[in-house]
Structure 1
Amino acid sequence: MTERSRWDEQRARERLADLDVALADLADRGEPGPLAAVRALVDVYGEALARVLDRADVEDPALLDVVARDELVGHLLLVHDLHPHDPGTRIGRALDGLAPHITAELTELEHGVATVTVEATARTGDRPVEETVEGTVLAAAPEVGEVRVRRRTEPAFVPLTAVRAR
């Protein structure tokens, strides 16, 4: 087998965005033949991924976590409803990835609504923090219908017993 170059995470994100645009364009054209071919191909790849996950789960259950954490593979698992992690876990890990620029915590996930609390001092470049957090949550858990971002204006309560030397 020949060596081929691997995509970094940025390249994977760019290609996924390109694919979304191309599929939307194809759907807008309303041509049933090409769209049916794409759907059939997606179904075949979905079945192949399901078989790989089944084997990985039997051979090495820890491998499922490694595979699911890869951004590109994780995206494909979501597309095929095969992701082994629940939405709360995926959102929490995605929010952790925003550090150190944004400190954010999933504080509630109920009925398709994710509530995220961010530190009041959180900042991003030109993009509003709320927009960054919302995009991060929806990318990690597309099944979430709404993201509510709240800013923590006072320091979180830390009980005295948690900071005392024992």
Structure 2
Amino acid sequence: MSLTDRAAAERVARVDALLDSVESLPDPGLTVDALQAMLDLYGEALARILAIGGDALGPALVEDELVAYLLLLHGLHPLEVSVRVEQAVSRVRSRLGGSAVEAVTVADGVARVRLRRGRGGCGGAADPSALLEEAIRNAAPELDRVEIEELGPPPVLITIDALRRPGARTS
């Protein structure tokens, strides 16, 4: 059976919702134990696949979003959290509607991002902070927090020449 990336993402969301439902049962113990045993078994199998494939296999596997999710779930993702966060930020840069990421740091379970808001931008653009946070959380769910420091747009600089010439452009 081969799922499209969208169908796989929908399946992951459904599994997450079902797991939340199981945890809310009056006595989820046996069900949670069975699920944990299955996850442990799958995690061991994935670890063996990675060991058999050597150093080259891990980076190739993370190109697939679903496989990367499973590796994250089992603590087997070959890329450091800081690298995954940087990659996530890079993937959403073009969708930030004129805003720019000025700095990204990851330390002690916290990703910190400095975001410089653009001037105006597209009215239809998504909230840059929300986009960044979602991308980072998806790439590094083991983080405790994502902190986004928002800075205003850079000041408009007007040259003396521009003041002397009516209709001249500012920079």
Contiguous gaps of at least 5 residues in structure 2: 156-171
**Number of residue pairs matched?**
148
Normalised by the size of structure 1, how large is the TM-score? 0.78
Conservation of the 8 A alpha-carbon contact between 1:112 and 1:145: yes
Residues 22, 124 of structure 1: alpha-carbon distance in 2 compared, 3 angstrom cutoff: farther
Q: 1:67 aligns with which of 61, 83, 93?
A: 61
Match of 2:24 in 1: 28
CA distance in 1, matches of 2:32, 2:103: 37
CA separation of 1:106 and 1:16: change in aligned 2, threshold 3 A: farther
Q: Which runs of 5+ in 1 are unaligned?
A: 156-166
Please give the residue correspondences for 1:1-166 in structure 2 after superposition, counting only pairs within 5 Å. Answer: 4=1, 6-29=2-25, 30-57=27-54, 61-102=55-96, 103-104=100-101, 107-121=104-118, 125=124, 127-151=126-150, 153-154=153-154
- 1:8 Cα shift? 2.4
Q: How far apart are the structure 2 equivalents of 1:136 and 1:18?
A: 19
Which residue pairs with 2:164 in the alignment? none
* TM superposition shift of 1:123: 6.3
Could you tell which deviates more after superposition, 119-128 or 91-100?
119-128
Q: Read off the aligned partner of 2:50 and give its amino acid letter.
A: L
Opposite residue 134 of structure 2, the aligned amino acid is G
Whole-Å separation in 2 of the counterparts to 1:21 and 1:124: 33
Shift of 1:136: 1.1
Partner of 1:100, secondary structure, is helix
C-alpha deviation, 1:44, in angstroms? 0.6
Taking a change above 3 Å as real, the CA distance of residues 97 and 8 of structure 1, as seen in their structure-2 partners, is farther
Q: Is the 8 A contact 2:102 2:116 kept in 1?
A: no
CA RMSD of aligned residues (A): 2.3
Which residue in 2 is equivalent to 1:162? none
Verify the 8 A CA contact 1:112 1:144 in the aligned structure 2: yes
1:140–1:129 CA distance, 2 compared to 1 (3 A): same
Mean CA deviation greater in 28-37 or 97-106: 97-106
Larger Rg: 2
SS at match of 1:139: helix
2-structure distance, mates of 1:113, 1:19:
26
Distance of aligned partners of 1:50 and 1:116 in 2 relative to their CA distance in 1, 3 Å threshold: same
